[in-house]
Each structure stands twice: as structure tokens, then as C-alpha cells.
Structure 1
Amino acid sequence: MVQAKTELRARARELRLAGKTYNEIVAELGVAKSSVSLWVRDLPTPAPRAREHCRAMAEARWAPYRKARDLERQATKTAATNEIGELTDRELFLLGVGLYWSEGSKSKAHRPQEVVIFINSDPSMIDVYLAWLGLLGVEPERLRFRVMIHESADVAGAERFWAERVGVEATSLDRTTLKKHNPKTVRKNVGENYRGCLVVRVLGGADLYRRIEGWWCGIVLGAKRTA
């Protein structure tokens, strides 16, 4: 027993001289922190480690937990995706009405206008919206597309991305709207994945707008009846 304790003490001192912290020595030797403190208290305190080294140690410690969490998250998303299956026309129709009424332009009492304009930065939302317009029989030639993006971003790259996404030539897009950069604002939407928003406008959309508004009223009444 005494021999084992002596060996642990010697090993603790070696680790301390190598720059290990009390917690690291405790983790490696499986002894009490008070014992480590007693064994190495006469040794100089190790110099502070570089920030990169500390970050690497933290990453190594938490990497297994993050991996397990990511696997669990992906499994949940996959299972939920499979629950949806193929949409019926009616399901897509109702989904599209709700999507437009939450994200599309609406006529206001102080600014009455019956136009069908949809703006979003999420490509998948644009995909669903265009599928809905197709279900309604809106011809492709009635659609106009325009990019809205900060002037400091990759404007040309965003135009190419959105044009390819909706299946048109970049040259056919309406003139891009550039948002002025405010140096005082700390923006989070930066980087190569920032592509601004796409504006989708339906030409001659007054009648369609009125129907959308009516469909939404019908959904609200239907929900109240089932409540």
C-alpha cells in the first residue's frame, strides 16, 4: 500500500512538472485532489497554456457527446421526415395558403394593394411555394424573380444561386435590390452561405390574392369549428 502511494506521488509530480493541472492529474491517477495538492505543492505552478491548446482539450473532451447528440438529432429528423410521405394536392393546397399568409405580402387598411409577392431566404420555402403556385395553375411566364441582399455580400454569386434554384437564367432576374451596409450593425447572416432573399412576384395577381385571402378565412373558420 505504501509502495503504491509512493508511486502515485512520484507520478503526480512528473505530471505536474509536465504542466498538468490538478484536475488532469486527478483524472489520470484516480486520487483525491487534496492528495495531489499535498504531493506537488512545492512545485512551481505551470505557465498558462495557449488558448488553442485549451480549446483543443475541451473539444476532445466534448466531441463524443456532440457526436452522440448529432446522431440522435439526425435520427429524429429522419423519422419525422418519413412520417410525412407524399403530399396530396389538397394537403399541398392548404399548406401553401398558410405559407403565403405567414410569409407573403398582404393588403393593409392603410395601404390597400392586391398583389401576390412572396419573400424568403430559405430555398426550401421557395421550393414549396413554387410547387404550390404550380398546383394553382400559375404559368411560369407570370413569375418574376428578384434578389434582395446586402451590398457587402457576394451579389453575383447569390444571383446565380437563386436563378439556378428556380430554373431560370440569371440574366432574366429583375434588378437586384441592395441593402445598404450599416457598420454599426453586427450581422449574423454572413459568409458563403448567405445569399440574401428571393422575391417572387406573380403578374396580374389581384384575383389570386383575393382567393388566397378567402382561402385563409376558410381555414380559420374551419379551425374554429373543430376547436
Structure 2
Amino acid sequence: MTAAKHELQVRARELRLAGKTYDEIVAELGVSKSSVSLWVRDLPKPQPSPERMRRMREARWEPHRRKMAFLREQTKAAAVAETRQMTDRDLFIAGVALYWSEGCKSKPHSLRETVIFCNQDPGVIRVFLAWLALLGVEPDRIQYRVMIHETADVAGAEGYWADLVGVDVSALQRTTLKKHNPKTVRKNVGEGYHGCLVVRVRRGADLYRRIEGWWYGIVLGSERRELNSTA
């Protein structure tokens, strides 16, 4: 055996012991697969590393993930088409339900008939503002305030929300900063985190009473529908 061939054989065995596959050894040494097989056949088959096992699992599941992602997007697109043509009545009902689930509500022990809405989802904020416009609430009665963790990008969040609602940053009320708790592992971090936007309607007591009445009207209406369907 020539010195060069012996050196290749030694290197092939080292690579095999290091966990390389036949194909990887062939690619690195530039020899035939049959030669590699002959040189290392007495060595135990290497166990894949955890990282290699992970890559193998990912490759095996990738077609399924692509299929499921396609089906999810199909379902969402069909649902969007079902709700694209929204009537004023649709928006009215959606807005009442949205406020009663996410908005500030008066309590028997604390009578606060104020219209205050807070959310971190820009889509939810857009729907709420469209609802206020439907109700005839003038823009100059609407106040905005950002609420965000003090360790986040406060200026960036203020610019983000101001742009979303179409006002200058200077028109926002003073931002509320949430104190950072070192013991808490926060997940709402990164470039996509903009905190919450608080929307308040000035002189909103009468509107709040109407919202409460609308909501209970929806509750009673749903109960009547259920009774009629079982009659």
C-alpha cells in the first residue's frame, strides 16, 4: 500500500470514528465509496448526533408541515371571504361585543361610566375605532395613551401607535410605563412588541350607558333565539 493510500485509509477511519457517514467521507477525501466501505467496515456504525437526529426529524416532518400550513391558509382565506362584506349592523354588533369583553366596565362598588378600551392587537384597535366612527363619535373626543414595559422601545411604540391611529406622536397622552420584574420571564419582547394602546372617549358617560344597554339587549336577544329554537 502506498503512503498516500495508507494516509487516506487512516483518515477515513478517523472520520468514521468521528461519526461521519460514508457519503461524507467520500466527499471529504475524494475517494470511491467502495474504498471507504473496505477501509472502515470493521468499525461500528456511528450513532447520529443529537443535532443530526434533529435535522432528520425536521426533514421527515417538513412535507407534513407544508401541507398543514397550506390547509390552514386555505381555511383562513375562506373565512375572510365569508366576512369581507360587513354591514353597519355587523360592525355595530361586533363593536358592542368587543367593548364588553375588552373595555372598561362600571362596577356596583365603583360607578365609573367611562368608555376606555385597551388592547395590544392593531386589528382590534382598528375595528374599535371604526365602530366609534359608526356611532358618530367625533375624533376630537378620542384620546390615546400607550402602555408598555419600561424596558421596551418606548419611543418606537409611541410612533407605531400614533401612525396606526393617524395622529402625531405629540397628540398622545403621557405613556404609562410598567415596572420591570426581574423574576418574570417576559415573552412579549422583540421588534414586534409595541405594548398596548389605551383609547378613551371624552364625555363618554352617555355612550357607556348605551353600550351597557346594547350588550344586555344582545344577551336577551340570544336567549330568545334559543327559546324559540327549542319551542
Using the size of structure 2 for normalisation, the TM-score is 0.78
Q: Displacement of 1:210 after TM fit? A: 0.4
Q: Report Cα offsets for 1:171-218 as digits up to 9, x if no partner.
A: 110011011111111111111101110000000000000000011111
Distance in 1, matches of 2:48 and 2:220, equals 66
TM-score normalised over the length of structure 1? 0.79
Secondary structure at the aligned position of 2:198 is classed as strand
* Residue 142 (str. 1) matches residue 120 (str. 2): no
Name the residue aligned to 2:201. Answer: 202
- Identify the residue that residue 78 of structure 2 maps to in structure 1: 79
Distance 2:48 2:135 in 1: 66
Aligned equivalents of 1:90 and 1:50: distance in 2? 57
- Tell me how far 1:57 sits from its aligned partner: 3.2
What CA RMSD, in Å, does the superposition of the two structures yield over aligned residues?
A: 2.4
Give the equivalent residue in structure 1 for 2:103: 104
The answer on 1:217 being equivalent to 2:216 is yes
> 1:43 corresponds to which residue?
43
Matched with 1:119 is 118
The 1-side partners of 2:54 and 2:48 are apart by 13
| 1:27-65 CA distance string (max 9 Å, x none) | xxxxxxxxxxxxx996336376363x4433332222222
Q: Residues of 2 paired with 1:190 and 1:180: CA distance? A: 14
Deviation at 1:90, TM superposition (A): 1.1
> 1:69, CA displacement in angstroms?
1.0
Distance 2:81 2:93 in 1: 20
Counterpart Cα distance in 2 of 1:196 and 1:139: 25
In structure 2, how many angstroms separate the alpha carbons of the residues matched to 1:156 and 1:137? 31
CA drift of 1:152 comes to 0.9
* Alpha-carbon shift at residue 83 of structure 1 (Å): 1.0
Deviation at 1:78, TM superposition (A): 0.1
The match for 1:19 is: 19
Q: Post-superposition, which runs of at least 4 consecutive aligned residues in structure 1 deviate over 6 A?
A: none
Whose radius of gyration is greater, 1 or 2? 2
SS at match of 1:131: helix
Size of the aligned set, in residue pairs, is 195
Q: Does 1:70 align with 2:69?
A: yes
